């Protein structure tokens, strides 16, 4: 016998099936988003909360309705830095979306917090930060699966300009400019390219890896002056880069390393990392402080951005010695050098910026423990503490931003 089904019952069954169907869809979407934010349509969308079981809340969570925001420091120029909430950037097919785990503050970035006379902020801000360690969220390449921790090489060259075609990729004139979407590490997320990513060894601490780019630059500088076994090295300044130069000089066989600085905590660190002597030049002539430097140093490395540091470097350099200008004054500020000394002593003066092929070597040295980096990191800040940190450079030897801190 067939029993007739009333219209109210039929309607009730239809609605019930709809709710069950919607709930199943929701559970699937929730599982999809449980390990990491959903990269739907190339954007990072809000994670769906567990336990939602109504169709209305399901549709509210669809990508069409809500885009995730991230925190980021934006630089508008003229000392105008702002912590803002902006959309997470959209990854194209040739890009990698990273969750920023750490980003070192470069010594040159402290000037971002200084107001410029007569300058006005720009209409659009850009995200600073090029010393990035991140975790892959979205990638089009199988070699960088989600969850991979990477160190990011900020050098991304065009391969077409004269610098690139003569092997100096780090001097590329067409490198992509940073924007509010591309490349900056002072944010929760960052977009980079696969060729910039170096996978971290599993046992390497994220915080230690944050020094990879800094060390790569120092290695490149040492290659320029080619420290030889048995040579005497004098390092002007005792900041983060100088602490690395001390250790590199030792690895390359320097017989004597002196650091010149007037900040006691920094000179004490340099001594603990391998320097033989530390001198405050305001109190003592470095060449008179040790008989080993009575005729000057074979290599002098300048880490101070003051004109007189370059003058001192040439004066303190031995005959046939080399001067590395690593930390330099701003553009337009000359340094007085006596040409007769260059001629008389045959001193070579070279500059060094960025790095060539030393990024991988830097990562390997940090992972091996041959270069100690953890003592150099003397301050860790969250994103909302970053602007204040940029205003107090002397409070730290090396500061690293950890967005999740």
If asked whether residues 287 and 263 sit together in one domain, one would say yes
Q: What is the pLDDT of residue 258?
A: 98
Q: What is the pLDDT of residue 105?
A: 98
If asked whether residues 26 and 109 sit together in one domain, one would say no
Structural domain includes residue 361? no
Structural domain includes residue 2? no
H or E element, residue 288: helix 286-289
Block means of pLDDT (10 residues each) for the chain, 405 residues, are 51 57 45 39 34 37 59 94 94 93 96 82 90 95 95 91 90 78 88 95 98 98 98 98 98 98 96 98 96 97 95 97 95 93 97 94 98 98 97 95 93
If asked whether residues 254 and 314 sit together in one domain, one would say yes
Mark residue 180 as left, alpha or beta (left: phi above 0; alpha: psi -120 to 50; beta: remaining).
alpha
Structural domain includes residue 358? no
Q: What is the pLDDT of residue 342?
A: 96
Provide the domain limits for residue 43.
Answer: 7-60
Q: Are strands 149-152 and 297-302 parallel, antiparallel or unpaired?
A: unpaired
If asked whether residues 268 and 326 sit together in one domain, one would say yes
Q: What is the pLDDT of residue 56?
A: 35
Structural domain includes residue 74? yes
CA dihedral 146→360→155→97, nearest 10 degrees, is 10
Residue 72 bridge partners (DSSP): 84, 187
If asked whether residues 56 and 73 sit together in one domain, one would say no
If asked whether residues 171 and 251 sit together in one domain, one would say no
Residue of 237, 239, 241, 285 whose CA lies nearest to 261 = 237
Domain count, the chain: 3
Q: What is the pLDDT of residue 182?
A: 74
Instruction: Indicate the SS3 state at residue 56.
Output: helix
If asked whether residues 125 and 23 sit together in one domain, one would say no
CATH number at residue 248: 3.40.50.720
Q: What is the pLDDT of residue 364?
A: 98
Structural domain includes residue 368? no
Distance CA 42, CA 181 (A): 13
Structural domain includes residue 367? no
If asked whether residues 252 and 342 sit together in one domain, one would say yes
Residue of 149, 43, 148 whose CA lies nearest to 92 = 43
Structural domain includes residue 372? no
If asked whether residues 165 and 259 sit together in one domain, one would say no
pTM: predicted TM-score of the whole model, two decimal places? 0.83
Structural domain includes residue 308? yes
If asked whether residues 132 and 257 sit together in one domain, one would say no
Distance CA 98, CA 137 (A): 5
If asked whether residues 91 and 73 sit together in one domain, one would say yes
If asked whether residues 257 and 327 sit together in one domain, one would say yes
CATH number at residue 160: 3.90.180.10
Residue 234 bridge partners (DSSP): 258, 300
Q: What is the pLDDT of residue 8?
A: 55
Instruction: Indicate the SS3 state at residue 79.
Output: coil
Q: Are strands 81-87 and 69-75 parallel, antiparallel or unpaired?
A: antiparallel
């Amino acid at each position: 016998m067939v029993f007739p089904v009333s219209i109210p019952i039929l309607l009730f069954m239809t609605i019930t099936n709809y709710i069950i169907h919607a709930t199943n869809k929701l559970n699937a979407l929730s599982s999809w988003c449980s390990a990491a934010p959903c990269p739907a349509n190339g954007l990072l969308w809000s994670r769906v909360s567990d336990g939602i079981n109504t169709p209305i809340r399901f549709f509210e969570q669809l990508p069409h309705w809500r885009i995730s925001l991230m925190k980021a420091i934006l630089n508008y120029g003229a000392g105008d830095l702002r912590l803002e909430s902006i959309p997470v950037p959209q990854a194209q097919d040739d890009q990698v979306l990273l969750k920023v785990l750490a980003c070192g503050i470069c010594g040159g970035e402290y000037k971002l917090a200084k107001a410029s006379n007569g300058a006005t902020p720009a209409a659009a801000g850009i995200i600073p930060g090029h010393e990035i360690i991140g975790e892959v969220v979205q990638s089009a390449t199988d070699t960088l699966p989600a969850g991979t921790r990477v160190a990011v090489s900020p050098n991304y060259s065009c391969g077409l300009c004269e610098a690139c075609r003569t092997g100096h990729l780090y001097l590329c004139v067409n490198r992509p400019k940073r924007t509010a979407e591309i490349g900056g590490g002072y944010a929760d997320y960052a977009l980079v390219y696969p060729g910039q990513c170096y996978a971290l060894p599993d046992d390497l601490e994220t915080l230690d890896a944050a020094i990879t780019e800094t060390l790569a630059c120092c290695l490149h500088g040492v290659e320029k002056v080619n420290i030889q076994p048995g040579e005497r090295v004098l390092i002007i300044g005792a900041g983060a880069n100088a602490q690395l130069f001390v250790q590199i000089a030792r690895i390359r066989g320097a017989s004597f390393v002196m650091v010149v600085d007037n900040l006691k905590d920094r000179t004490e660190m340099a001594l603990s990392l391998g320097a033989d002597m530390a001198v405050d030049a305001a109190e003592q002539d470095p060449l008179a402080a040790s008989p080993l430097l009575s005729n000057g140093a074979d290599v002098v490395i300048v880490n101070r951005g003051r004109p007189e540091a370059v003058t001192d470097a040439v004066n303190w350099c031995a005959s046939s010695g080399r001067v590395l200008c690593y930390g330099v004054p701003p553009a337009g500020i000359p340094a007085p050098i006596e040409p007769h000394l260059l001629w008389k002593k045959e001193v070579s003066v070279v500059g060094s910026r960025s790095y060539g092929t030393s990024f991988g070597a830097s990562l390997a040295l940090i992972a091996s423990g041959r270069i100690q980096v953890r003592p150099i990191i003397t301050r860790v800040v969250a994103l909302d503490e970053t602007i204040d940190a940029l205003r107090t450079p002397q409070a730290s030897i090396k500061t690293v931003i950890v967005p999740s801190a």
